[in-house]
Amino acid sequence: MSAPKILITEPVPQKVIDYLGNMGEVLVAEKGIYNSELQLKKDIRDFDALLCMLSTPVTNAVLEEAKNLKVIANFAVGYNNIDVKAANELGIKVANTPDVLTEACGDFAMALLMATTRHFYDAEKYLRKGEFKGWEPLGFLGMELRGKNLGIVGMGRIGKAFATRAKAFGMNIFYHNRSSISGTDEKELEATFIDTIEELAQRSDVLSLNCPLTPETYHLVDNHILELMPSNSILIDISRGPVVDEAALAEALHKGMIGGAGLDVFEEEPNVHPRLLTAPNCTMLPHIASATYETREAIGMLAANAIIQVLRGDKDEQIPNLVFA
């Protein structure tokens, strides 16, 4: 029997490629080639396994062409780029990679909040342009975090990791979730559950989005929520771009309805709403919350392990992070 063929839709850490190479024939595509449904439809029929990115559209049309495909492993926590229902019906296993991003993303959320509240980008740009002429009493005044209210939407692993860090800065933790977290976790984080996103928005000096993208969370933060937020408040999003209505956010920033925003994800990645590009106090970074050597390698190895275990025929209950069995 010939060795299985494995497609990796863009470059990943070499350790992951070498590991999968022990199982079969590995093709690593150049970045961007498989951002197209059309290209993936043409090529997918040759492969037994797929290691893909959030930017890879694994649609029903793609899966119907995947005659040999046995497993899809997403190089991400979520899987909103994959038609899981269609994969399920075709008997194709789907895996994602939670847990290993938690600490890196918790660190990053705190850094993004600091950069936004203390105007790091504008201050650095000011210095690089040669405009710094000495210390100024009123130069780049920002928000102090101690004693401020942090509202977290989505108190999963990453939300809790961010809350832990924010608590160390002296912030008060509030959160909205589909259900409240355990009493033990609430006590440890000194976190208060809020029933509605509307009340959370009204009470938060910082509103952080740490929820998955679902039909219920699409444009969760829209003009209505932005109008409820205090005028000096900060929005942080490291979840998924479409959780925020970018046009509404851009308008709110330009009008001074809120104090600022820190964004690592965008509604139409890699495109950014043009009005956001000129918005005041908007820190924007290119989807790098998990970008540490350790984390990206761990993500790849978790995905690779799922692929190998499925190709080996291991029982589903022994394969971690399968979306369905």
Catalytic residues: 240, 269, 287
- Phi, psi (rounded to 5 degrees) for 76: -175, 165
Q: Are 73 and 304 in contact (CB under 8 A)?
A: yes
Cβ partners under 8 Å of residue 182, min gap 6: none
Q: Are 234 and 116 in contact (CB under 8 A)?
A: yes
DSSP tag of 264: S
Give bridge partners of residue 26 from the DSSP assignment: 6
- Phi, psi (rounded to 5 degrees) for 20: -65, -30
DSSP tag of 268: B
Interatomic CA distance for residues 133 and 149, integer angstroms: 35
Give bridge partners of residue 50 from the DSSP assignment: 7, 72
Short-list 15, 20, 9, 7, CA closest to 312: 20
Interatomic CA distance for residues 273 and 265, integer angstroms: 12
DSSP tag of 242: G
Helix boundaries (H) for the chain: 14-21, 37-43, 60-64, 84-90, 102-117, 120-128, 157-168, 183-189, 197-203, 223-228, 246-255, 274-277, 293-312
